[in-house]
Amino acid sequence: MKAPKRIGILTGGGDCPGLNAVIRAVVKTVINDYNMAVVGFLDGFEGLVENKFIKLNSDNASGILTRGGTILGSSNRADPFRYSTLESGKLEYRDRSDSALKTYEDHGLEALICIGGDGTMAVSQKLIHKNIPIVGIPKTIDNDLLATDVTFGFDSALTTATEAIDKIHTTAQSHHRVMVVEVMGRYAGWLALCSGLAGGGDIVLIPEIPYNIDSVCEAIKQRKYRGRYFSILVVGEGAKPIGGEMVVKKRVEGSPEPIRLGGISHKVADDIEDKIQVETRVTILGHLLRGGVPSPADRLLATRFGVAAAEQVAKRNFGQMVALRGNEIVTVPIEDVAGKTRVIPPDSPYLTMARSVGTCLGE
């Protein structure tokens, strides 16, 4: 079969460094290698529903490799199958997937490339059932997407988190304090564990291992006995104490992911001060982790993913997501990753490393 001549592309979910690099790679590859035309939908699936778009070409896809964010815009609230609209001051939800299909057909598209995480892949799988041919590209700073060893965006966020921990060290040491650094990651601890290891965190708390606050306090006291009068504690936003719950910052009505985690660092800090009366301060990195230019590693990975996705479109190998396994780019069915989370397994070498170098995991 001949390669498609006209395709669409969108970026769904939260933004992250590397999105523009992947857009650039897709656009340049499909134009240079396959002579395709490209339509970019604005603000994720919202653009597909509302027919908001721009035509992408080699000119407007140039000079964006190093830029953070996405030139197409993104949205994590625009699920075509549960699309929210404000009517008479009240949010109403409707299935607008037929509008998305009509937009796709009106543009004369033969394929759609969707860039995003598990939520984007879940929506993509539903659109596949409406006969929209889709190729997915894995993106998230949380690194929690199944079937790929790493997602682009993770390395950039890891770099930002590690640099922040490095800077926190000096003030913690100067004031003999416990410094708690909270990072994103949702229900997976990849960002917390890896930045904690890379930044020399003394204590790392992750969602996969509910923590015992007494173990945390004991680790701080043991450091003090050894003449280390400060401690760095890195905590993932989804961490929780044994028998406790995750801290929910707020709930966002109309979002495919209505629960917004955040604030566990304040609970940990308050508990430490209550139990052992050590001055404790909190830094929540939050959306800082999503910003800035992509790291060289993410630029390379995003480019590899973009080129590979373009190749799958040309082959009409639809319903697939490109992924990294070892050093190889492979494809996996989108249905295998849609709406699923990759957490740190108990036998992870990162956990073994942490325990070997004496990092307290709150166990």
- Per-block mean pLDDT, blocks of 10 residues, the chain (363 long): 92 94 98 97 96 96 96 89 83 92 97 95 96 97 95 97 96 92 96 98 98 97 94 97 90 69 94 94 95 96 98 97 97 94 96 97 97
Distance CA 182, CA 284 (A): 5
Query: 3-class DSSP state for residue 50?
Result: helix
DSSP code of residue 290: G
What pLDDT shows up at residue 255? 62
The values of phi and psi at residue 362, to 5°, are: 75, 15
Q: Please enumerate in sequence order all residues whose Cβ is within 8 A of that of 107, keeping only pairs 6 or more positions apart, or say none.
A: 6, 8, 39, 53
What pLDDT shows up at residue 253? 67
**Is the C-alpha dihedral spanning 46, 49, 55, 56 positive or negative?**
positive
Distance CA 21, CA 16 (A): 11
Catalytic residues: 142
Alpha carbon separation from 347 to 132, 351, 354 (Å, rounded): 39, 7, 12
Domains 6-152+294-336 and 156-291 fall in the same CATH topology: yes
283 φ/ψ sector (left φ>0, alpha ψ -120 to 50, else beta): beta
Q: 6-152+294-336 adopts what CATH topology?
A: Rossmann fold (3.40.50)
Which pair of tokens denotes residue 68?
A: 């953070």
The CATH number of 156-291 is 3.40.50.460
Residues across the chain: 363
**Is the C-alpha dihedral spanning 116, 236, 191, 69 positive or negative?**
positive
The values of phi and psi at residue 282, to 5°, are: -120, 135
Which pair of tokens denotes residue 355?
A: 């325990």
Domain residue spans in the chain?
6-152+294-336, 156-291
The answer to whether residues 156 and 294 touch, using CB atoms and an 8 Å cutoff, is yes
DSSP symbols for 330-341: EEEEGGGTTT--
**Is the C-alpha dihedral spanning 138, 144, 150, 154 positive or negative?**
positive
